[in-house]
């Protein structure tokens, strides 16, 4: 049994997105695609082996966007639909995840954001970081998209 606390980012870590291109080949949007089956299997295996699992997301909890702007399920809906063994969903409101990871005693974290992973690696000797592959630049694109929507 591996009794430790693990956390997973949500967007592009537990669910996948893809870029939408216009006729010229320019990126115009990013849309929800499907569950990230590999990481969901990893999450279930960790929980089965005794780990407590948390979702630590940069999302803003009260963000309710029309489906044409974001067609992804909310973390709580996704957990229920997929019957995931999650202790808690923690929203960081676009802030650094390190204080949350420390507060919850996280020992291993999965995230698709290279910058977030780099900072955790540099500042937290006791947290193993796993960078999740995602389409190049999608993390920044989605972050900017949601900042524009929230500030409108």
Q: Report pLDDT for 2.
A: 56
Q: Tell me the C-alpha distance between 133 and 152, whole Å.
A: 30
Structure tokens at 89: 């969903």
Q: Report pLDDT for 144.
A: 86
What contacts 24+ positions apart, CB below 8 Å, involve 35-38? 35/78, 35/82, 36/12, 36/132
Q: Report pLDDT for 66.
A: 64
Q: Tell me the C-alpha distance between 85 and 50, whole Å.
A: 11
Give per-10-residue mean pLDDT for the chain (152 aa): 85 95 94 96 96 94 71 93 97 93 97 94 95 91 81 72
Q: Report pLDDT for 82.
A: 97
Torsion of CA 89, 142, 108, 47, to 10 degrees: 50
CA angle 45, 60, 69 (to 5 degrees): 95
84 close to 40: Cβ distance less than 8 angstroms: yes
Q: Tell me the C-alpha distance between 89 and 56, whole Å.
A: 6
Q: Is 68 exposed, middle or buried (0-12, 13-18, 19+ CB in 10 A)?
A: exposed
Q: Report pLDDT for 30.
A: 92
47 close to 53: Cβ distance less than 8 angstroms: yes
Q: Are strands 52-57 and 5-8 parallel, antiparallel or unpaired?
A: parallel
Q: In whole angstroms, how far apart are CA 90 and each of 8, 94, 101, 132, 141? A: 10, 12, 10, 19, 22
């Amino acid at each position: 049994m591996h009794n430790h606390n693990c956390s997973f980012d949500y967007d592009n870590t537990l669910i996948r997105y893809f870029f939408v291109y216009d006729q010229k080949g320019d990126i115009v949007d990013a849309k929800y695609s499907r569950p990230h089956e590999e990481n969901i299997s990893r999450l279930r295996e960790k929980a089965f082996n005794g780990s407590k699992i948390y979702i630590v997301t940069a999302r803003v909890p009260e963000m309710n966007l029309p489906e044409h702007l974001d067609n992804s399920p909310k973390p709580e809906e996704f957990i229920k639909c997929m019957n995931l063994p999650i202790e808690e969903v923690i929203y960081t409101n676009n802030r650094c995840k390190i204080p949350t990871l420390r507060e919850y005693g996280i020992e291993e974290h999965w995230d698709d954001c290279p910058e977030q992973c780099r900072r955790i690696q540099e500042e937290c000797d006791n947290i193993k970081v796993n960078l999740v592959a995602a389409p190049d630049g999608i993390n920044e694109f989605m972050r900017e998209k949601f900042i524009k929507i929230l500030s409108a």
